[in-house]
Amino acid sequence: MNRRRGPARSLLSRRHILTGAGVALTLPRLESLAPRSAKAQAAPAPLRFLPIFLPNGAPEFWKPEAVGSGAAWNISSVLAPLLAHKSKLIVISGLENASVFNADKSPIVEPPHSRQAGAWLTCQDAALVSQRLNVTDANGVSIDQVMAAAMGITGATPVASLQIGLSTTQSSCDGKACSLSRSVSWKTETQPLYKLVDPQQVFDALVGAAPGTSAFEAANARRAAQKSVIDAVLESANVIHPRLSKRDVLRMDEFMQSVRDVEQQIDKEAARGGNCAGLPAPQFVDLSQGGILKNNSATYNKGRHADLMRDLIALAFQCELTHIISYMLEDENSEFVYDHVKRRTFTATTSTEAVGVCGEYAGAQHGSQDEYASITWWNVLKVSELCDKLASITDIDGKSLLDNSVIFFGSGMHGSNHQCYDLPAVLLGGGGGALRTDQHLWLGTRPLRDLYFTLMNNVYQTPITDFGANSAGLPPRLITELLA
């Protein structure tokens, strides 16, 4: 399916920015604001890309028992929270990234956590890049940044890409550069893009109030006066309102309400003291230092943190701040204590609540498989709730944001065995109609970079001839089974 994108200026022509004291709020595209020449053309909805990183691999209960499509396969017990989105789901089994490191495809990679996480979006052996450049922090360019550099995908969004995460503590770096396990996005071979963990910082980015700017100071003053961003842009919005059709008035009003709802939730979290405000930048902090959240507390709850990030992702896509977001559910080798998650007992197809709550994530990976599966199940639940949110928002073409997105949810390692084969991998969303969804696909043994090669060439319609590395020198190939 060929979904060619128009030039960037056609994207800009349908967008407008509401301005006020310390605010530059980008509206969704509104047909009423398009020039006459643009109105004569159907507006193609942009495709979004959202890789979501799951640390520490996944338990064996992740994989569905049957292979096939439609009624021929059923969702597994760990992936059960995604059941409502089965029609937009592809479970991919058989992807490996070991060929990046080993010419014989041996699944053993040591040390495993940092190196495999570092290769998840780059399909490069960071050690070889580091050696070639003679620098510590080095890796290949990640696929999200290849996309961000392609104007046919990103259009003219205010931010080329966004990196966010839920991390509140520093994971073990496995004796390698911490940039490999604490970031998955690499803009250049020497520039990791570390994630924002504070929802307030993400919200400020959405409304044009980046730290260090006068807008940031104005935003702080607005919050101190208990004023809303909506108050700041009301005059600007009132100028635009009479120019809108009934459909666009509804679209704009829904968007403004979404902004206000997210802002209120962030304000409530800040009042609790649990907004992640003041957390140091993740890459600079050591576990030996005090005051770093490693577990839930009276003022911090990882579930609330995830819910805020869910709403901010939806808002960023809805207002077209960006079309590309990378989202780390945790740093690799996460040691967070998941005592907010109830233990469950699992079979291949079912799970039931059990007695007690979960403990440390890394400990569960190498301990009770039910506890490991319970933490993974909770993370799947949070991804499902994000899908719910995206599915509820109508895009410019009448489809949902989920229809016009590709979410790649997975991990850089298999599971408790630390191996780099049969990686947990799920695609969610319609890809604008380019993906053959509702299937569990078994690929035997296929390099992970084949997935990115396929997405770029046949879903995002931006041809590339190569991506990543293969120690045996084999070229990347299309995974045609994914395509509609």
CATH of the domain at 167: 3.40.720.10
- Mean of pLDDT values over 341-359: 97
Residues 416, 134: Cα–Cα separation, whole Å:
33
**Residue 358 covered by a domain:** yes
Per-residue pLDDT tens digits for 326-339: 999 999 998 899 99
Pairing of strands 425-428, 342-346: unpaired
Contact predicate 229/222, CB 8 Å = yes
**Residue 204 covered by a domain:** no
Say if residue 414's pLDDT is above 90.
yes
40 and 51 share one domain: no
**Residue 203 covered by a domain:** no
268 and 245 share one domain: yes
Say if residue 278's pLDDT is above 90.
no
Residues 464, 448: Cα–Cα separation, whole Å:
15
Say if residue 42's pLDDT is above 70.
no
Residue 214, SS3 per DSSP: helix
375 and 452 share one domain: yes
Nearest to 195 by CA among 227, 231, 228, 167: 167
**Dihedral pair phi/psi, residue 39, rounded to 5°:** -65, -25
Of 251, 278, 305, the one marking the end of a domain is: 278
355 and 456 share one domain: yes
Tokens, residue 57: 């691999």
301 and 436 share one domain: yes
How much of the chain, in percent, has pLDDT values that exceed 70? 87
- Mean of pLDDT values over 234-245: 89
From 39-53, 337-351, 417-431, the region with the lowest mean pLDDT: 39-53
Per-residue pLDDT tens digits for 251-274: 888 888 889 899 888 887 766 655
Query: pLDDT class for 66, splitting at 50, 70, 90?
Result: very high
What does the mean pLDDT of the chain come to? 87
Contact predicate 399/48, CB 8 Å = no
Query: pLDDT class for 406, splitting at 50, 70, 90?
Result: very high
- Mean of pLDDT values over 185-206: 90
**Dihedral pair phi/psi, residue 474, rounded to 5°:** -80, 145
Q: Which helix (H) or strand (E) holds 308?
A: helix 302-318
Query: pLDDT class for 373, splitting at 50, 70, 90?
Result: very high
**E-assigned strands of 279-415?**
325-328, 342-346, 351-357, 405-410
Say if residue 152's pLDDT is above 80.
no
**E-assigned strands of 83-151?**
89-96
**Residue 467 covered by a domain:** yes
Say if residue 94's pLDDT is above 50.
yes
Residues 113, 161: Cα–Cα separation, whole Å:
25
182 and 308 share one domain: yes
How much of the chain, in percent, has pLDDT values that exceed 90? 59
Nearest to 230 by CA among 194, 198, 238: 238
411: left (phi over 0), alpha (psi -120 to 50) or beta: beta
- Residues 310, 314, 317, 321: is their CA dihedral positive or negative? negative
Chain-centre distance for alpha carbon 355: 32
Going by the DSSP 8-state scheme, the letter that residue 351 receives in this structure is E
6 and 129 share one domain: no
Of 227, 255, 278, the one marking the end of a domain is: 278
- Mean of pLDDT values over 178-207: 90
- Residues 353, 355, 359, 364: is their CA dihedral positive or negative? negative
352 and 235 share one domain: no
Say if residue 11's pLDDT is above 50.
no
Other CB atoms within 10 Å distance of the CB of residue 474? 12
One-letter amino acid for residue 352 of the chain: T
**Residue 128 covered by a domain:** yes
Contact predicate 112/120, CB 8 Å = no
Q: Which of the two residues, 449 and 26, has the higher pLDDT score?
A: 449
The pLDDT of residue 3:
41
294 and 169 share one domain: yes
- Mean of pLDDT values over 415-442: 97
Residues 244, 104: Cα–Cα separation, whole Å:
61
Contact predicate 139/129, CB 8 Å = yes
Report DSSP letters for 231-275, one per residue: HHHHHHHHHHGGGS-HHHHHHHHHHHHHHHHHHHHHHHHHHHT-S
Query: pLDDT class for 25, splitting at 50, 70, 90?
Result: confident
Distances (CA, A) of 470 to 100, 119, 123, 196: 5, 12, 8, 32
Q: How many residues does the chain have?
A: 484
Chain-centre distance for alpha carbon 18: 27
Structural domains of the chain, count: 2
- Mean of pLDDT values over 43-55: 91
Q: Which range, 40-44, 160-164, 351-355, has the best average confidence (pLDDT)?
A: 351-355
35 and 61 share one domain: no
Residues 314, 388: Cα–Cα separation, whole Å:
10
- Rg of the Cα trace of the chain? 22
Say if residue 119's pLDDT is above 90.
yes
248 and 331 share one domain: no
Q: Which of the two residues, 304 and 274, has the higher pLDDT score?
A: 304
Per-residue pLDDT tens digits for 162-180: 999 987 666 788 889 989 9
Contact predicate 447/99, CB 8 Å = yes
**Residue 163 covered by a domain:** yes
**Residue 388 covered by a domain:** yes
Q: Which domain holds residue 226?
A: 1-44+209-278
Residue 10, SS3 per DSSP: helix
The pLDDT of residue 227:
82
Residues 300, 41: Cα–Cα separation, whole Å:
48
**Residue 366 covered by a domain:** yes
169 and 245 share one domain: no
Of 236, 252, 278, the one marking the end of a domain is: 278
Say if residue 280's pLDDT is above 50.
no
